Copies of this chain bind each other. A is one copy, B any other.
Amino acid sequence: MTNTSPARDLLIQVGKTMIAEQGYNATGINAVLKEAGVPKGSFYHYFASKEAFGLAVIESFAEENDQQLYGVLKDASRPALDRVSDWLAVSRGEMKRCDHSRGCLIGNLGQEMSSRSDVLRDALAQAFQRWEGCLADCLGEGQAEGSVRRDLDAGALAAFVMAGWQGALLRAKTVRDCQPLYEFEQTLMACIRTH
């Protein structure tokens, strides 16, 4: 199998959009090939299986998201809670751009595929763990600054924030509107900042 090639990259890009919109099971290999304009029959030249394709899609999405998240949450020029707000605003902007239809690909696949593929489940759990780790560092800096409450462990707070945000994205999808995301952020900030 070829590990990098323009056609392989294109299949992954198309797969990210289609899987985010339709889910993994509803996304057929032939539809991805057709959308990408890549010849039928070449899929297994690039991927050993649909699961291997799904893993490549997850890894590509997670890597892009890692970079975006790190860029915002590690920006030491901004107070820690402002960075958290910046991150939520970026994520909310993505929800607006897709008319509140997609949510987070990692969250979506976590729901759909956790019980059906250990390979995909592990990759999804690792992505969550990295994001929570980055968020924990930021919240720990907030605790050092004095803006974030110190009676709770930064790692536990990070997992709490990430879980809430995933749930808020889900709720936003069910009403096709960002209102649940704004309300979540307001309540979150009241819960985690120092009073």
Contacting pair B190 A152 (CB below 8 A): yes
**Is A194 in the interface zone, CB < 8 Å from B?**
no
**Is A157 in the interface zone, CB < 8 Å from B?**
yes
One digit per residue, 1 when the CB lies within 8 angstroms of any chain B CB and 0 when it does not, for chain A 145-166 equals 0000001100011011011111
Smallest CB–CB gap between A31 and chain B, Å?
A: 13
Which one of A171, A184, A186 has the highest number of Cβ atoms from chain B below 10 Å of its Cβ?
A171
**Is A143 in the interface zone, CB < 8 Å from B?**
no
A160 to B13, CA, bound (A): 33
**Is A1 in the interface zone, CB < 8 Å from B?**
no
Which one of A21, A25, A121, A186 has the highest number of Cβ atoms from chain B below 10 Å of its Cβ?
A25
- The residue from B107, B124, B184 contacting A160, defined by CB atoms under 8 A apart: B184
**Is A180 in the interface zone, CB < 8 Å from B?**
yes
A98 to B113, CA, bound (A): 15
A74 to B87, CA, bound (A): 37
Contacting pair A174 B114 (CB below 8 A): yes
List the B side residues contacting A184 at CB < 8 Å.
159-160, 163
**Is A26 in the interface zone, CB < 8 Å from B?**
yes
Given contacts A25-B25, A151-B190, contact A114 B160 (CB under 8 A): no
Contacting pair B159 A180 (CB below 8 A): yes
Contacting pair A170 B111 (CB below 8 A): yes
Q: Which chain A residues have a beta carbon within 8 Å of chain B's beta carbons?
A: 21-23, 25-26, 101-103, 107-108, 110-112, 114-116, 121, 124-125, 128, 151-152, 156-157, 159-160, 162-168, 170-171, 173-176, 180, 183-184, 186-188, 190-192
